């Protein structure tokens, strides 16, 4: 016969007497604790729409299903969708509205959505933490003739006494290159596999022991949740993520370094410029890092595993709903298990910075980060035009609309002297002054960017 919570010993509304007990739960303080502990997991442990995007990013960097001990509700259903839909799901996950990233290829002129938005964001976030910040000049400084590296002449402009409104732009520049020297990929891979197997066996043993403990003390909902975690650890080991045959290789034969600008949209105030080894940058932004997903049983086991994960998702919801109705020590046990799972996910297996660091180390990639703060978007775009390695100008059309004075400015920055002088003569006095001011500002900023990377010392090595 079911008992009320006030008359129970903490075993819950079912009133089942377990072999062992933590003691009475009749105190009003315990009653409140039981109510809160039962409701908090069900209310707060719902997956957000961004979880699919984040999950794909972690899988792209690690090369396997990167899931915590006890993921949030609906995450397992998301994994099942990934197995069933494959590339279609990857395209959808990278196109979610608020997480979508646009990429402008400054060397080739193309514009496209980022193919690995979450993965590239994790790499960038890890790298810029150690970046040196440089404030770009906001006023024009006169130069001597021998200081000009690109562009048309030097212009000395006296800044206006009035300070115009400025919308500051932050540009994070990440230069990628490959680590030199011999490596030991096979030995390192063998050690990593052995470590993973040992850790997984220990973890499965701990989960099995926790299941037995919870069952003996009547925390049946928590025990069921741990069983879900146990089965999930086994399922994730059955999945194989395949890379493309020429992963991180340049299909253009290293004709030129990459220079790709990325932001959440064309009116952003924070930008990321990926430069350097084209094979790395192109695979990070333009090509999916996941070619296909299969299982150790072959492609025939994909649908079976997807069905099993959907069943585990239903079982997870059933266990958490049971705990919310059961209350008692079962709710406390589930709350503790969720906290342990969160700690394991954030600090051990699914830390974004940890995944980024391991990806760089595994692929022997080094990153040189710099952060530049510009007084406006035109100055930033002009500096990029000076900094990059070719005169392509159409790439920025969606960010700064083409107009006569913009075209004249870019022609001057690219060194087209005849076109610059002819175009400048056709502008009115206000636009001529505008072009001359930004010519000097952009040249100064571009030179600063070149100097920072020529004398680079802050390098994140693998």
- Per-residue pLDDT tens over the stretch 327-349: 788 888 999 999 999 888 888 77
Structural domain count, the chain: 1
Cβ atoms 331, 38 nearer than 8 A: yes
Q: What is the DSSP code (8-state) at residue 146?
A: G
CA distances from 210 to 7, 135, 229, 326, 340 (A): 27, 54, 11, 19, 12
Other beta carbons within 10 angstroms of residue 43's beta carbon come to 8
Query: What tokens were used for 75?
Result: 């995450």
- How many angstroms separate the CA atoms of 395 and 234, rounded? 47
Tell me if 446 sits within 8 A of 383, measured CB to CB.
Answer: yes
* Residue 147 domain-assigned (yes or no): no
Cβ atoms of 63 and 236 closer than 8 Å: no
Token pair 């196109």 is found at 95
Please check whether residue 285 lies inside any domain of the structure: yes
DSSP state of 182: -
What is the per-residue pLDDT for 14? 57
CA distance 295 to 301: 6
Tell me the three-class secondary structure of 85-119, residue by residue: HCHHHHHHHCCCHHHCCEEEECCCCCEEECCCHHH
What pLDDT, on a 0 to 100 scale, did the predictor assign at position 280? 95
- Residue at 248 is within a domain: yes
Supply the range of the domain harboring residue 209.
Answer: 41-139+166-179+187-458
Residue at 27 is within a domain: no
Pick out the chain residues at pLDDT < 50: 1-8, 144-162, 462
Helix (H) or strand (E) holding 18: none
Instruction: Identify whether 245 is part of a domain.
Output: yes
Give the whole-angstrom CA distance, residue 458 versus residue 87.
Answer: 37
Q: Per-residue DSSP letters for 313-359? A: HHHHHHHHHHHHHH-HHHHHHHHHHHHHHHHHIIIIIS-HHHHHHHH
Give the pLDDT confidence score for residue 6 in this predicted structure.
Answer: 46
Has residue 12 been placed in a domain? no
* Residue 450 and residue 390 in contact, taking contact as beta carbons nearer than 8 Å: no
CA 292 – CA 244 distance, rounded (Å): 8
Give the pLDDT score at 229.
95
In-domain check, residue 13:
no
| Residue 365: its H or E element | strand 365-374
Using CB atoms within 10 Å of the CB of residue 75, give its burial: 0 to 12 exposed, 13 to 18 middle, 19+ buried: buried
Predicted local distance difference test score (pLDDT) of residue 410: 93
Q: What is the pLDDT of residue 5?
A: 45
pLDDT of 332 reads 87
7 lies in some domain: no
Q: Bridge partners of 314?
A: none
H or E stretch at 210: helix 185-216
């Amino acid at each position: 016969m079911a008992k009320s919570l006030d008359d129970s010993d903490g075993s819950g509304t079912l009133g089942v007497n377990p072999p062992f007990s933590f003691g009475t739960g009749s105190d009003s303080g315990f009653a409140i604790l039981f109510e809160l502990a039962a409701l908090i997991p069900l209310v707060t442990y719902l997956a957000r729409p961004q979880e699919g995007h984040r999950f794909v990013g972690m899988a792209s960097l690690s090369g396997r299903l990167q899931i915590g001990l006890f993921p949030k509700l609906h995450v397992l259903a998301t994994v099942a969708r990934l197995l069933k839909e494959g590339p279609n799901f990857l395209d959808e996950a990278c196109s979610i509205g608020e997480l979508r990233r646009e990429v402008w290829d400054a060397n080739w002129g193309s514009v496209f959505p980022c193919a690995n938005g979450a993965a590239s964001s994790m790499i960038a976030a890890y790298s810029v933490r150690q970046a040196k910040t440089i404030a770009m000049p906001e006023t024009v400084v006169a130069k001597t003739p021998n200081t000009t590296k690109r562009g048309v002449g030097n212009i000395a402009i006296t800044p206006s006494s009035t300070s115009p409104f400025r919308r500051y732009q932050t540009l994070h520049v990440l230069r990628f290159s490959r680590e030199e020297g011999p490596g030991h990929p096979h030995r390192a891979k063998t050690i990593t596999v052995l470590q993973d197997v040992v850790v997984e066996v220990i973890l499965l043993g701990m989960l099995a022991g926790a299941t037995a403990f919870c069952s003996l003390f009547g925390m049946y909902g928590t025990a069921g949740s741990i069983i879900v975690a146990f089965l999930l650890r086994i399922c994730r080991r059955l999945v194989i993520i395949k890379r493309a045959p020429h992963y991180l290789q340049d299909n253009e034969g290293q004709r030129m370094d990459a220079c790709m600008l990325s932001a959440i949209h064309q009116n952003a105030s924070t930008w990321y410029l990926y430069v350097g080894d084209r094979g790395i940058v192109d695979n990070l932004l333009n090509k999916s890092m996941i070619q296909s997903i299969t299982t150790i049983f072959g492609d025939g086991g994909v649908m079976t595993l997807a069905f099993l994960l959907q069943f585990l998702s239903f079982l997870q919801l059933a266990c958490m709903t049971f705990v919310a109705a059961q209350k008692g020590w079962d709710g406390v046990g589930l709350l503790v298990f969720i906290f342990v799972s969160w700690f394991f996910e954030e600090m051990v297996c699914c830390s974004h910075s940890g995944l980024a660091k391991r990806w760089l180390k595994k692929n022997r990639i080094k990153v040189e980060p710099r952060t530049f703060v510009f007084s406006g978007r035109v100055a930033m775009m002009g500096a990029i035009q000076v900094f990059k390695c070719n005169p392509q100008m159409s790439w920025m059309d969606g960010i700064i609309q083409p107009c006569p004075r913009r075209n004249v400015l870019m022609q001057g920055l690219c060194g087209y002297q005849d076109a610059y002088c002819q175009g400048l003569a056709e502008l009115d006095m206000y636009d001529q002054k505008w072009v001359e001011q930004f010519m000097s500002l952009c040249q100064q900023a571009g030179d600063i960017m070149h100097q920072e990377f020529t004398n680079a010392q802050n390098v994140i090595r693998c």
